[in-house]
Chains A and B, each alone.
Chain A
Amino acid sequence: MIERPLYSGPYAHERVSVRRTMLLVVFALLPATLFGLYQYGWPAIFLFVVTLLAAIVAESVSLWVMGKPQRPFLLDGSALLTGWLLAITLPPWAPWWIGVVGAFVAIVIGKQVFGGIGQNLFNPAMVARSALLVSFPLEMTTFPAPQPLLSAQAPDMAQGLAITLGDTTQVDAVTSATTFGHVKTELTRGAGMDEALAGTYSLWEHLLGTSSGSLGEASVLLLLLGGVLLLYTRVISWHIPVSMLGSLALLATIFHLINPSLYLDPLFHLMAGSVILGAFFIATDLVTSPVSVRGQLIFGAGCGVLVFVIRTFAGYPEGVAFAILLMNASTPLIDHYFRPRVYGRDRRGRPLNHGDGEDRRP
């Protein structure tokens, strides 16, 4: 006779786990990341590794402080993913301490303070990125032009290490504005759009990833490839990316049609900056986005609108991080008000009544 503790079904389970989900996201980021590391060479590789390690150390320390078990939580892959997302949104040649400070802010303030995995209101990587941008504006806006690994001008390993350790002389030599930064500066100088765009705007560069920017802004094509993988493995659904990109494109189109010399065209909005990364990898962050389909559509649309508004009307050249953080804050509200309709009930929760007793006998 076999005695077992009482336990409700189901007794079958899909082969899924938190770790699998997190690692799939990391896997989807891999092509774009590898390409970005190649583009920016040794300094980028060092910064990337330092940031990941710092994230894992921060997670481990937090777990220790809170007396939680290390193994299951370190192995769930969430700290790795957070570190990864942060690393690819940093300027690739930023000094090491940017990565370390960012990782600790992300893990400790962005996640563990809220109670650990699943409890945080804001996307940890975006919290850290925004905190860094506000605290260290110089380091966070110094972008080198791509210097592919092994190319003639690229720093070798020793030079790379020096850059990561904070030697800025080399960085200054190759600094180049990001597309958005450039356009913004030019426009504020009073230049017209055509002039502002001259020489910077190349869709191909963005698609392939040879324009300057953070690792994650590098190649739109490779990011899209990762996004498709996430959709295919059903880690994310299409609702947030499509509504976010859709609303952004719609607004951009309308404004561009009204005054093309003041407003960028929609393709530019979609291709440049970190919108693609944001739409597929950051806004879709499971923990901080709504759970229902309608909620996700609203959330995505809100992100798109905010990205446009921040980029166009606010002082910052790039608005993806702030837009997503703002929408993160409204997730609980969205979840509360936009629940799916319950089977057998109308939207207001009353039992359905098909034609009022038509089917019943008197």
Chain B
Amino acid sequence: MKLFRIRGGVHPDDRKQLSAEHPIENLPLPPLLHIPLQQHIGAQATPVVTRGQLVRKGELLARSQGIISAPVHAPTSGRIMGIGGYPAHHASGLSVRTLTLKPDGHDEWHDSCVGAAAPFSLSPEEISTRVADAGIVGMGGAGFPSSVKLNLRHRYALHTLVINGAECEPYLTCDDRLMQERPDDVRDGVMLMARALGVRRVLFAIENNKPAALAAMRESAKAQADLQIVGLPTRYPMGSANHLVQTLVGKETPARGLTADIGVVVHNAATAAAVNDAIRHGRPLISRIVTVTGRAIRRPRNLHVLIGTPMDYLVEYCGGFLEEPVRLISGGPMMGQPLPSTRVPVVKGSNGLLALSASEVNDGAEMPCIRCGICVRVCPCGLVPLSMVATIRAGRLESSVRLGLLDCIGCGSCAYACPSHIPLVQHFNYAKGELAAQQRAQHKQGEIKRLIEARTARMEAIKRAKQEAMRRRKAEMDGKKAENADRRAETAEASR
């Protein structure tokens, strides 16, 4: 198949060999599970269980709230110990509402978990409803509710489903293992999604550095005429949805738009497997595969983990730390998030736990920009990172937006390659956050203004109404007075 070139990109040392050869292992049940109500982009789920309640595996714990949201299910059977704040799976370490479940060890499935007898005869609506009910979100890390993406067919003319099996982040091997070990499940999930989207063409893209996964998927795809497995050149960020689509179909997604604007929907390979589980077996998304790796980990592994398992339980299973890690990251080293601590739980989007040793991070001292232009050369979005940083440093956020700040996908290629070790992405993230805050403030101000205006208008109306009433009363009184006067005059006359 003809592939199209994308601009820029880098070739980081992928270090996948640390964990690539280790088959997926099931992590034993942890003593406690902490299941956050928000593991996705969108509105937090609303709990439907109470403290002390016994739940079965797969039972609904919290239902989705609004259009963009996802429900949460019990990863195993046990008792709900409480609902409250717990450190979030997020750099800020802020706490989010979290259900705590104490497994009873029986791991019994709930009765609601029944698969469809004939998955491929379900209608597109039925498929996307089941995907929504199973709480499936994008498992590549973004966590966007998958059913919302499946429903894009209502608003866009779609022609292609792209499955992202690129796994271009260094270190991560969870999708690689999944595709090698469960190719048929992945394939069926893909074909179910294709059916839900009503597209005939499915391109399944895998980077060429995963020959075993490519071979397994090719073998499995033989039975499917519509499914084409495509080997991709190894280059970061090949797995960025926009760039992946451009590589495959040769079109750029319009700025601020969706890949659906050019008729393409992208789903992740692990998401496909989850869709298959949900529809064929009736199992909601309650577990996932996590790569635990980095040179600071004694035994890097690919683990099958229940959602809500604390990270330190994974670390312990992998033999603990060889040395104190200098960085602890959820996800890959390029776009992952620093973890505030190992207490935080695994969520639906956690694809990796990285414990990096000092030898791996190459933390050079920051130097002034030498205008080498390397950041420009490697940016896959055609941006000029050095100018964006200069404007951000000068506090001119609007200029940085004009230079394309909001077109930056945060891939980190620029900061990765900068010889001056300037934390470019950190500046961009700061500016994006600042802009969002300003927008919120503006929105809030607008809201306050609207409220004040509404109140003034209401007051005015009341005042006017009062005046009106007064006038009317006065008029009436005057009328009465006049009447009375007349009457008095009449009586006087009569008495005369």
**Taking beta carbons and an 8 Å cutoff, which residues of A are in contact with B?**
1-4, 6-18, 20-21, 72, 76, 78, 116-119, 237, 286-293, 296, 335, 339-345, 351-354, 359-361
Q: Interface size of B by Cβ–Cβ distance < 8 Å?
A: 78
- Contact among B7, B363, B369 with A118 in the assembled complex (CB-CB below 8 Å): B369
Contact assessment for B370 and A9 in the assembled complex, using a CB-CB cutoff below 8 Å: no
- Contact among B325, B371, B429 with A2 in the assembled complex (CB-CB below 8 Å): B325
Contact assessment for A286 and B336 in the assembled complex, using a CB-CB cutoff below 8 Å: no
Residues of the A chain whose Cβ atoms lie less than 8 Å from the Cβ of B336? 9, 11
Contact assessment for B157 and A359 in the assembled complex, using a CB-CB cutoff below 8 Å: yes
Docked complex: B147-179 residues within 8 A CB-CB of A: 155-157, 170
Contact assessment for B370 and A343 in the assembled complex, using a CB-CB cutoff below 8 Å: no
Chain A interface mostly: loop
- The verdict on B16 contacting chain A, using a C-beta distance below 8 Å, is no
Contact assessment for A286 and B373 in the assembled complex, using a CB-CB cutoff below 8 Å: yes
Residues of the A chain whose Cβ atoms lie less than 8 Å from the Cβ of B256? 344, 351
Q: Across the A-B interface, give the 3 residue pairs with the lowest CB-CB distance, nearest first.
A: A291-B373, A10-B412, A344-B255
Residue of A nearest to B252 (CB): A344
Residue of B nearest to A7 (CB): B338
Residues of the A chain whose Cβ atoms lie less than 8 Å from the Cβ of B156? 359-361
Min CB distance B258 to A, Å, is 11
- The verdict on B492 contacting chain A, using a C-beta distance below 8 Å, is no
- The verdict on B404 contacting chain A, using a C-beta distance below 8 Å, is yes
Residue of A nearest to B428 (CB): A8
Min CB distance A261 to B, Å, is 43
Contact assessment for A291 and B334 in the assembled complex, using a CB-CB cutoff below 8 Å: no
Given contacts A12-B360, A12-B362, A287-B371, contact A361 B157 (CB under 8 A): yes
- The verdict on B376 contacting chain A, using a C-beta distance below 8 Å, is yes
Given contacts A1-B341, A10-B425, A17-B421, contact A292 B380 (CB under 8 A): no
Residues of the A chain whose Cβ atoms lie less than 8 Å from the Cβ of B387? 335
Contact assessment for A4 and B328 in the assembled complex, using a CB-CB cutoff below 8 Å: yes
- The verdict on B426 contacting chain A, using a C-beta distance below 8 Å, is yes
Residues of the B chain whose Cβ atoms lie less than 8 Å from the Cβ of A288? 371
Contact assessment for B381 and A10 in the assembled complex, using a CB-CB cutoff below 8 Å: no
- Contact among A2, A12, A354 with B334 in the assembled complex (CB-CB below 8 Å): A12
**Which of A2, A289, A361 lies at the interface centre, i.e. has the most chain B CB atoms within 10 A of its CB?**
A2
Residues of the A chain whose Cβ atoms lie less than 8 Å from the Cβ of B262? 354, 359
- Contact among A6, A12, A335, A341 with B91 in the assembled complex (CB-CB below 8 Å): A6
- The verdict on B218 contacting chain A, using a C-beta distance below 8 Å, is no
- Contact among B92, B372, B376, B425 with A292 in the assembled complex (CB-CB below 8 Å): B376
Contact assessment for B335 and A9 in the assembled complex, using a CB-CB cutoff below 8 Å: yes
Residue of A nearest to B327 (CB): A11
Contact assessment for B371 and A10 in the assembled complex, using a CB-CB cutoff below 8 Å: no
Min CB distance B195 to A, Å, is 19
Min CB distance B325 to A, Å, is 7
- The verdict on B42 contacting chain A, using a C-beta distance below 8 Å, is no
Report how far A5 CA is from B5 CA in the complex, Å: 38
**Which of A8, A11, A72, A339 lies at the interface centre, i.e. has the most chain B CB atoms within 10 A of its CB?**
A11
Contact assessment for A12 and B333 in the assembled complex, using a CB-CB cutoff below 8 Å: yes
Given contacts A2-B324, A287-B370, contact A342 B263 (CB under 8 A): no
- The verdict on B18 contacting chain A, using a C-beta distance below 8 Å, is no
Interface pairs (25), CB distance under 8 Å: A1-B342, A4-B328, A6-B338, A7-B423, A12-B12, A12-B360, A12-B362, A13-B363, A13-B415, A14-B12, A17-B419, A17-B421, A117-B367, A117-B370, A118-B369, A286-B371, A291-B384, A292-B376, A342-B255, A342-B407, A352-B254, A352-B255, A360-B155, A360-B157, A361-B156
